């Protein structure tokens, strides 16, 4: 299947797709311009070295050790080392990017490349407002490492630059293309004779049937309940159209209380009322809930397309996980059933005060080579943002369903970006509201009220930089 055709129509404009986290605690980064202009780290630009990398300059890479692991990054580092054998590469991986790197940013001594991902990210709003991230425009204009006649910009899927841009500057490379949806095991459904439901009424009827068979219809990570905000918001957008997301992203008054959000919250409350959620889910993290799902204790989970790789070690043979869109509320939906949330994600950045800034850009050029992108797909079962990179690569079952879902969604694909604009809103305020809602402690109206009050608090906080998403 040709990825260029699959993704061309679905790459969404907007900003970062992967949630950000952890401000720099209000501290301005220290150090002067000399930190990034050290002559010892600058080489001479040439046709073979368009970014001016000094061949023996050390390179410091920090990777988020999450669903994709770190082996793909080690492979990219090996490719960099092959080109610059004199360069010493320092590799480290952590699940606590903010905690690990905040002191280094504050001291003006950040790494050269940062995979700023996961629950412990550094908030991009804080980084951008403090001019702590390097402009990647020079990378875009450099020739591709292994695709003749094309610049790096030419090789990227549509939307990649837009989703990593702040105020017109390309600051963040989102390396993967991610679909978010509902996941189930085709083996379980085939064995039981079940069919995935395309409408909400049919979904509730199916949940009743699943529960009668002794299996919980749903589980979710109660430690990170925002995972369930994704299908709720998706349901609302499909009912009311993309303007629902734009209103939320732009902190418009009562955006969380729109008719579409009310309809969606009322619908999802039914799985709570009818006890269609696995007992104990409220106390599980994402790995525990997904593992219970892999063990057949529940039929559905909400997740992004990193799920297959994240659960690889515990997924039974023949499980055949499949991603599908959220069910339609009814015939009045403005988007078809096939519409699914999809966007570029997994953010990488080069800090503005990186000692080897040119090396950081060159490392990204390696990542965006066809060889680098193909190796990534083979290792982690995810689609990169390099056009045509998966051609000739055999995709695993789950990733194949992601490609098919994005293809079926076509121009109806959608996304929201409030979680990137305002990390606290999703990771703390909406997260807390989801926890109360899906644990059955508050009503749909109370859930939306809590979300709206959180958004209003962000809107009224003059210390937080605001961004506007075009309609």
Position 320 scores a pLDDT of: 98
Position 177 scores a pLDDT of: 86
Position 168 scores a pLDDT of: 77
Position 26 scores a pLDDT of: 39
Q: How many CB atoms lie within 10 A of CB 120?
A: 18
From 390, 300, 261, select the one nearest 1 (Cα to Cα): 390
Regions of the chain short of the pLDDT cut 50? 1-40
From 160, 278, 247, select the one nearest 469 (Cα to Cα): 247
Q: What CATH number has the domain spanning 59-177+343-410?
A: 3.40.190.10
What are the residue boundaries of the structural domains of the chain, listed by start?
Answer: 59-177+343-410, 179-342+416-460
237 neighbors 335 (Cβ within 8 angstroms): yes
Between helix 229-240 and helix 431-438 the angle, nearest 10°, is 90
Name the burial class of residue 446, with classes exposed (0-12), middle (13-18) and buried (19+) by CB atoms within 10 angstroms of its CB: middle
Specify the CATH superfamily of domain 179-342+416-460. Periplasmic binding protein-like II (3.40.190.10)
Position 223 scores a pLDDT of: 97
From 66, 7, 5, 1, select the one nearest 384 (Cα to Cα): 7
Element (H, E) at 303: strand 298-304
Residue 400 neighbours by CB under 8 Å, 6+ apart: 1
Q: How many CB atoms lie within 10 A of CB 146?
A: 16
Q: Which two tokens stand for residue 446?
A: 């109370």
Position 370 scores a pLDDT of: 94
Position 212 scores a pLDDT of: 98
289 neighbors 281 (Cβ within 8 angstroms): yes
């Amino acid at each position: 299947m040709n990825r260029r055709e699959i993704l061309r129509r679905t790459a969404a404009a907007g900003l970062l797709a992967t949630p950000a986290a952890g401000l720099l605690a209000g501290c301005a980064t220290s150090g002067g311009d000399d930190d990034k202009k050290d002559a010892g780290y600058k080489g001479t630009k040439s046709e073979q070295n368009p970014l001016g990398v000094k061949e023996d300059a050390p390179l410091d890479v920090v990777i988020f050790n999450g669903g994709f692991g770190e082996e793909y990054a080690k492979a990219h580092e090996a490719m960099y080392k092959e080109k610059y054998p004199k360069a010493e590469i320092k590799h480290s991986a952590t699940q606590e990017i903010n905690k690990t790197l905040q002191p280094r940013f504050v001291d003006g001594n950040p790494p050269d490349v940062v995979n700023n991902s996961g629950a412990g990210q550094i908030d991009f709003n804080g980084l951008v407002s403090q001019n702590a991230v390097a402009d990647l425009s020079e990378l875009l204009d450099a020739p591709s490492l292994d695709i003749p006649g094309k610049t790096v910009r030419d090789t990227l899927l549509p939307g990649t630059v837009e989703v990593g841009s702040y105020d017109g500057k390309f600051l963040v490379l989102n390396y993967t293309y991610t679909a978010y949806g509902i996941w189930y095991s085709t083996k379980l459904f085939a064995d039981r004779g079940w069919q995935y439901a395309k409408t909400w009424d049919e979904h509730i009827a199916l949940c009743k049937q699943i529960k009668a068979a002794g299996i919980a219809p749903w589980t979710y990570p109660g430690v990170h309940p925002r995972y369930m905000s994704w299908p709720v918001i998706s349901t609302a957008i499909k009912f009311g159209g993309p303007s629902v997301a734009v209103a939320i992203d732009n902190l418009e008054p009562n955006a969380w209380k729109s008719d579409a959000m009310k309809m969606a919250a009322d619908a999802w409350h039914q799985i709570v009322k009818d006890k269609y959620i696995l007992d104990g889910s409220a106390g599980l993290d994402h790995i525990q809930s997904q593992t219970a799902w892999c063990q057949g204790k529940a039929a559905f989970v909400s997740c992004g397309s990193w799920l297959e790789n994240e659960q690889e070690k515990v997924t039974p043979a023949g499980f055949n996980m499949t991603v599908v869109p959220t069910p339609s509320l009814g015939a009045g939906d403005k988007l078809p059933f096939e519409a699914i949330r999809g966007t570029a994600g997994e953010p990488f950045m080069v800090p503005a005060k990186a000692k080897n800034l040119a090396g950081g850009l060159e490392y990204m050029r390696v990542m965006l080579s066809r060889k680098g992108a193909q190796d990534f797909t083979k290792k982690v079962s995810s689609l990169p943002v390099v056009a045509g990179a998966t051609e000739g690569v055999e995709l695993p079952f789950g990733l194949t369903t992601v490609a098919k879902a994005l293809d079926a969604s076509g121009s109806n694909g959608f996304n929201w970006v409030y979680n990137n604009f305002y990390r606290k809103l999703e990771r703390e305020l909406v997260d807390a509201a989801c926890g109360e809602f899906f644990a059955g402690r508050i009503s749909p109206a109370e859930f939306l009220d809590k979300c709206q009050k959180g958004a209003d608090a962000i809107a009224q906080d003059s210390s937080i930089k605001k961004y506007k998403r075009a309609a």
